[in-house]
Chains A and B, each alone.
Chain A
Amino acid sequence: MINETSDTLLKRPALRDSWFSRFEVLALAAITVVAIIGKFYLPRLLPHTEWLELPLLLTVYFGLTRRNPISSLLFGAFVGLSEDSLSPATIPIGMYGITKTLVGYFAASVSVRFNVDNPAIRLVLCFFFYFFHAFFYWVMRRALLGQVVPFDPQETFVHGALNAVIALPLFAVLDRIKLSGTT
Chain B
Amino acid sequence: MEALLSRYRNLTVLLVVVVAQLLYLAYQVKTNRDERLIRVWAVTAVTPMAGIVEAVRHNTIGFLEDYFILLDVREQNRKLKADNDHLRMENTYFRNQLSTAEHARALTLFQAQSPSKTVAARVIGNSTVATAKAVFIDRGSTSGIENGMAVVTPEGVVGKVVAVYPLVSQVLLVTDPTFKVGVESQKGHIHGVLDCGTGKCTVQEIQNEDRIDVGEEFFTSGEDRIFPRGFPVGTVVSAAPGQGMKDVKLNLSGAPGGAEEVLVVLRGVHRPIPSAPAEDSTRAALPAPPAETGDAVASASKPQTEADKIVQKYDSIGKQEGHVYGAVGSAIPNFNLKPAAEAKSPVAGGTAAQAAPAPPSPILGSRPGVTSTASKPPAATRTSSPELTLPLGAPRRKAVTPAVPLGGQAPPPASTTQ
Which residues of A pack against B, CB within 8 Å? Answer: 36-37, 39-45, 47, 50-51, 53, 55, 69-70, 73-74, 77, 81-98, 101-102, 105, 109, 137-138, 144-145, 147-150, 152
Do A150 and B46 touch across chains, with their CB atoms under 8 A apart?
no
Please give, as numbers and ranges, the residues of chain A lying within 8 Å of B198 by CB-CB distance. 150
Q: Assign chain B's interface to a size class.
A: 35 or more
**Chain A nearest Cβ from B289, distance in angstroms:** 48
Chain A residues with CB under 8 A of B177: 147-150
Q: Inside 8 A of B14's CB, which chain A residues have their CB?
A: 69, 73, 101-102, 105
How far, in angstroms, from A109 to B34 measured CA to CA in the complex? 34
26 A–B pairs (Cβ distance < 8 Å), ordered by A: A37-B49, A39-B126, A40-B125, A41-B126, A50-B126, A53-B130, A73-B14, A77-B17, A84-B128, A86-B46, A86-B127, A87-B127, A88-B172, A89-B172, A90-B162, A90-B172, A93-B24, A93-B25, A94-B28, A96-B129, A98-B25, A101-B14, A101-B21, A137-B131, A149-B197, A150-B177
Q: Contacts of B291 on A, CB cut-off 8 Å?
A: none
Q: Is the CB of A94 within 8 A of B128?
A: no
In the assembled complex, the CB of B363 is this many whole angstroms from the nearest CB of chain A, namely 68
Query: A95 contacts which chain B residues (CB < 8 A)?
Result: 25
User: Is A36 touching B129 in the complex (CB atoms < 8 A)?
Assistant: no
Contact residues in A for B128 (Cβ distance below 8 Å): 36, 39-40, 55, 83-84, 86-87, 96
Which of A40, A81, A138 interacts with B50 by CB under 8 Å? A40
Residue pair A90, B50 in contact (C-beta under 8 Å)? no
Residue from A89, A93, A109, A149 in contact with B162 in the complex, judged by beta carbons closer than 8 Å: A89
Distance, CA A51 to CA B198, complexed state (A): 17
Which of A70, A94, A137 has the most C-beta atoms of chain B within 10 angstroms of its own C-beta? A94
Whether A88 contacts B13 in the complex (CB less than 8 A), given A148-B197, A149-B177, comes out as no
Q: How far is the CA of A74 from the CA of B10 in the complex (A)?
A: 11
Chain A, Cβ-Cβ closest to B129? A87
| Partner pick for A94 among B24, B34, B125, CB 8 A cutoff | B24
Contacts of B49 in A (CB 8 A): 37
Tell me, in angstroms, the Cα distance from A138 to B177 when the chains sit together.
Answer: 12
Q: Tell whether, in the assembled complex, residue B176 and residue A150 are in contact, meaning their CB atoms are under 8 Å apart.
A: no
Chain A residues near B34 (CB-CB < 8 A): 89, 92
User: In the complex, which residues of chain B have a beta carbon less than 8 angstroms from the beta carbon of A94?
Assistant: 21-22, 24-25, 28
- A87 cross-chain contacts in B, Cβ below 8 A: 127-129, 132, 134
Shortest CB-to-CB span from A62 to chain B, Å, is 15
A85 touches B125 (CB 8 A): no
Q: Are A89 and B39 CB-contacts (below 8 A) given A37-B46, A149-B177?
A: yes
Enumerate chain B residues within 8 angstroms of A83, measured Cβ to Cβ. Answer: 128-129
Cross-interface CB contact of B25 among A86, A90, A92, A149, cutoff 8 Å: A92
Residues of A within 8 A of B129 (CB): 83, 87-88, 91, 96
Q: Identify which of residues 44-62 in chain B touch chain A, using a CB-to-CB cut-off of 8 Å.
A: 46, 49-50, 53-54, 57
A86-B176 contact, Cβ under 8 Å, with A70-B10, A98-B18? no
Q: A87-B128, A93-B35, A94-B21 are in contact. Are A69 and B57 (CB under 8 A)?
A: no
B interface residues with partner A (beta carbon < 8 Å):
9-10, 13-14, 17-18, 21-22, 24-26, 28-29, 34-35, 38-39, 41-43, 46, 49-50, 53-54, 57, 123-132, 134, 162-163, 170, 172, 176-178, 197-199, 258
Q: Is the CB of A88 within 8 A of B25?
A: no
CA distance A147 to B180 in the complex (A): 13
Residues of B within 8 A of A77 (CB): 17, 21
Besides A50-B126, A85-B41, A102-B14, 6 more A-B contacts (Cβ < 8 Å) are A74-B17, A87-B132, A89-B162, A89-B163, A90-B132, A138-B131
Ranked nearest first, the 6 interchain pairs of A and B with the lowest CB-CB distance are A85-B42, A89-B163, A92-B28, A94-B25, A69-B10, A88-B134
Q: Assess whether B18 is in contact with A102, with CB atoms less than 8 Å apart.
A: yes
Complex interface: chain B residues within 8 A of A39 (CB): 126, 128
Cβ of A70: which chain B residues have Cβ within 8 Å of it?
Answer: 9-10, 13
Q: In the complex, which residue of chain B has the Cβ closest to the Cβ of A48?
A: B257
Give the distance to chain A from B103, nearest Cβ to Cβ, in Å: 17
- Report the bound CA distance from A150 to B195 in whole Å: 12
Q: A40 contacts B46, CB within 8 Å?
A: yes
Report how far A47 CA is from B257 CA in the complex, Å. Answer: 10
Q: Which residues of the partner chain B approach A148 to less than 8 Å between Cβ atoms?
A: 177-178, 197
A51 touches B130 (CB 8 A): yes
Smallest CB gap from B173: residue in A: A88
Q: Is the CB of B176 within 8 A of A41?
A: no
Report Cα–Cα, A69/B17, bound state, in Å: 12
Q: Which of B22, B124, B130 has most A Cβ within 10 Å?
A: B130
* C-alpha spacing A96/B25, complex, angstroms: 11
Cβ distance B88 to chain A, nearest Cβ, rounded Å: 26
Q: Which residues of A contact B50 (CB under 8 A)?
A: 37, 40-41, 44
A127 to B49 alpha-carbon distance, docked (Å):
31
Q: Which chain A residues border B57 with CB–CB below 8 Å?
A: 45
- Bound CA–CA A107/B313 (angstroms): 103
Q: Is the CB of B43 within 8 A of A85?
A: yes
Q: CB-nearest residue of chain B relative to A109? A: B10
Kindly state the separation between the CA atoms of A105 and B128 in the bound complex, as whole angstroms.
22
The answer to whether B17 touches A73 (Cβ under 8 A) is yes
| Contact partners of B38 in chain A: CB under 8 A | 81, 85, 93
Tell whether, in the assembled complex, residue A144 and residue B29 are in contact, meaning their CB atoms are under 8 Å apart: yes
- Quick one: closest B residue to A92, CB to CB? B28
